[in-house]
Amino acid sequence: PLPLASRLYEICQTLCTLDTGASRLHLLLLRPQLFKANSKIQSVNVTKFCLPTVNGTTGESPSLSVAERKALAEEWCGKARGRMDQVVVHVGAMSLRDSQDLARHAAQIGADGIAVIAPFFFKPKTADALRKFLQEVASAASALPFYYYQIPAITGINSQWLVEGIEQLIPSFRGVKFSGMDLMDLGQCVMHSQPQWSILYGVDEVSLNCTIAGDEPLSANFLTSVSSCSTFNYLGSHVNKLLSAFETGDLIQARALQVLPMRLLLVASFDVGVNKQLMMEVSGLHLGPPRLPLMPCPLERSEKILQKYRSLFP
């Protein structure tokens, strides 16, 4: 399982590397991304964990074939071993069989856990249908810790109905990544969580809010952590400062630090093409364009976003 949250930790979301026409993977471009991530991890507070999640939404998994997702997972699991704390592979897909295939593959290549988003075409109509889907996927890799990726705007399923008692259906269930603005729904995840679970939060602009959402009796074993889907790759050091301020009780400083990503996101939005472009500008890595139907960030807009980034994070 992921480390118990006696301390805050972060999850970095990997980006896929495509050739110039976005027609195929370019794995040679992936290796500098991994080593850059490793060097960045070494420079941040060692009391925090950094756990890459491979083939998530930031990694354009809905646009990739099963074979491409397997190739990326193999590259990350193989090269990250010994360099990063753990690697979690997202195996969610619209097809149950594809999800099971990806889950088995993740177990075979030594992934430390798997995560699954609910199918969004066709969507499960009830929490029971979704729980059965997740149970079938988890059973394909029952030895791996299992995490559910909850995006309420997509699933339409209330978290309480989903997570309450789910450990009886899925013994390997270890937590939820919650990407939604409804903190009451997030609180339902917290209230029904078990001591061995991790609850990860994925809405960058209100990440501070999630750190205080919870149920008092669980606070000794559990604290929500930040899982920044779109900005952690280039705002990791800033997020660490924000979390450190919260941990030390300096809420005035934490609030001031939280405002800065909000200002950037007002300009940059949440587009994968924007995030790829900004990541390339900030890191010097070449990641290639996003794959259709996603579009690359226009040069004029890219320059405006980079200027804003540098003014906020000099």
The string of pLDDT tens digits covering residues 195-252 is 888 888 888 777 787 776 654 333 333 444 555 556 777 887 888 888 888 888 899 9
Hey, which of 6-15, 97-106, 252-261 has the most confident mean pLDDT? 97-106
Q: List, as residue ranges, the binding site for pyruvate.
A: 58, 226
Residue 307 maps to a domain: no
| Number of domains composing the chain | 1
pLDDT at 52: 74
Residue 27 maps to a domain: yes
CATH label of the domain that carries residue 151: 3.20.20.70
pTM: 0.88
Residue 59 maps to a domain: yes
Range of the domain at 232: 10-250
Residue 32 maps to a domain: yes
Residue 281 maps to a domain: no
Give the whole-angstrom CA distance, residue 309 versus residue 82: 32
Q: For residue range 140-193, what is the model confidence (pLDDT) as tens digits?
A: 999 999 999 998 888 888 888 899 999 999 999 998 988 888 888 888 888 888
In angstroms, the Cα distances linking 65 to 5, 69, 79 are: 34, 6, 21
Q: List, as residue ranges, the binding site.
A: 58, 226
Q: For residue range 15-25, what is the model confidence (pLDDT) as tens digits?
A: 888 888 878 88
Rounded to 10 deg, the angle between the 272-283 and 232-247 helix axes is 80
Residue 305 maps to a domain: no
Q: What is the set of active-site residues?
A: 149, 177
Residue 113 maps to a domain: yes
Give the whole-angstrom CA distance, residue 313 versus residue 301: 18
- Residue pair 124/150 in contact by the 8 Å Cβ criterion: no
Residue 311 maps to a domain: no
